[in-house]
Amino acid sequence: MLGSVSTTPSREIQVFGPLAAHLARRLGDPPTTSANPGVIVTGSVGEMAELLRSGRVDLYIDSLLPVLRACTLSGARPFLRRWKNGANEYQGLIVVRAKDEMHALQDLRGRRIAFESSFSTSAYYLPKAALLGAGLRLREHPAGGAAVAGDEVGYFFTSNEDSGLPWLLRGKVDAVALSTDDLQRVTKGQADPRLQILWRSPSFVRHVVARRPDLAEERLAAIERVLLTMDQDEEGRHVLARFERTTRFERFQDGGERALDPIRELLAPILDELQK
């Protein structure tokens, strides 16, 4: 059973469904159906951690921070990395309007920033950690709500990766957090003179596959064989392309656990939050 965290479960099942069906065929499991699509979608990482701990979800595929949190809460372990949208790494960004002439994170005091969702690595966790690390106070404000206090940064969630930049350009927010992937997609890879990158994170792994803590080694090896060889035949490549333009799955060079170490340092300002 595959697991994902999203506020739009029907869409997420459509995204993950072909991969779940492919795994079932190659592993000799019962075929997936509309009643049992082989995918469970939860609304929070905490719920996903419980499903991993209880054995109802075998694999959880997500960006680095939700996976790190789910592993911390459940004992699950990262074991493969996913090339999503043709990339194995990406960065988190905070983008502002060029005309506002902001040059440092401290210039966001008294302003409002849009995050994508409360479980996004690049568009919430990393930018939030950077803002707190810069000594800024954050307070959640509803979109279009009261003015932000001068010593705070107000924030809210768009719940849509394509909404932030249009809102920024219309002046609805003063900054938006997003990934390098999203920026390139929305701007079609072209530089926009109206925008300025105020902050950029280090590069980090694009997506991670974590497995539940008590998954049998024989079963794990079979799953790993299927995922690692999907890019080597036509059916597998077709399924990968439907799975958000995934190029391939691959092992971590130094092991999954060590791959999480660099991100833990970046997230020091919010580690307590990740333990909850």
Whether residue 13 lies inside any domain: the answer is yes
Whose tokens are 């060079």? That residue is 253
Give residue 202's identity as a one-letter amino acid code. Answer: P
Query: Which pLDDT does position 276 carry in this prediction?
Result: 54
Whether residue 55 lies inside any domain: the answer is yes
**Residue 96 sits in the same domain as residue 83:** no
Q: How does pLDDT run across 134-148, given as a tens digit for each residue?
A: 999 999 987 666 788
Query: Which pLDDT does position 176 carry in this prediction?
Result: 96
Query: Which pLDDT does position 23 carry in this prediction?
Result: 97
**What is this structure's pTM?**
0.75
200, 228, 247: which is the final residue of a domain? Answer: 200
From first to last of its 276 residues, the chain has per-residue pLDDT tens of 999 999 889 999 999 999 999 999 999 999 999 889 999 999 999 999 999 999 999 999 998 888 888 998 999 999 999 998 887 888 999 999 999 999 999 999 999 999 988 878 889 988 998 999 899 999 998 766 678 889 999 999 987 777 789 899 999 899 999 999 889 888 888 889 999 999 999 888 889 999 999 999 999 999 999 999 999 999 999 999 999 999 999 998 877 677 677 777 777 667 666 555
Query: Which pLDDT does position 275 carry in this prediction?
Result: 55
Q: How many domains are contained in the chain?
A: 2
Query: Which pLDDT does position 229 carry in this prediction?
Result: 97
Residue 199 β-bridge partners: 94
Query: Which pLDDT does position 52 carry in this prediction?
Result: 97
**Residue 196 sits in the same domain as residue 100:** yes
DSSP string, 26-73: HHTPPPP-SSS-SEEEESSHHHHHHHHHHTS-SEEEE-HHHHHHHHHH
How far are the Cα atoms of 75, 160, 197, 271 from residue 183, in angstroms, in the given order? Answer: 34, 13, 10, 27
Whether residue 42 lies inside any domain: the answer is yes
**Residue 26 sits in the same domain as residue 121:** no
b/e string for 110-132 if b means 16 or more Cβ within 10 A?
ebbbbbbbbbbbbbbbbbbbbbb
**Residue 213 sits in the same domain as residue 76:** yes
Greatest C-alpha distance within the chain? 60
Structural domain including 153 reads 92-200
Whether residue 117 lies inside any domain: the answer is yes
Whether residue 267 lies inside any domain: the answer is no
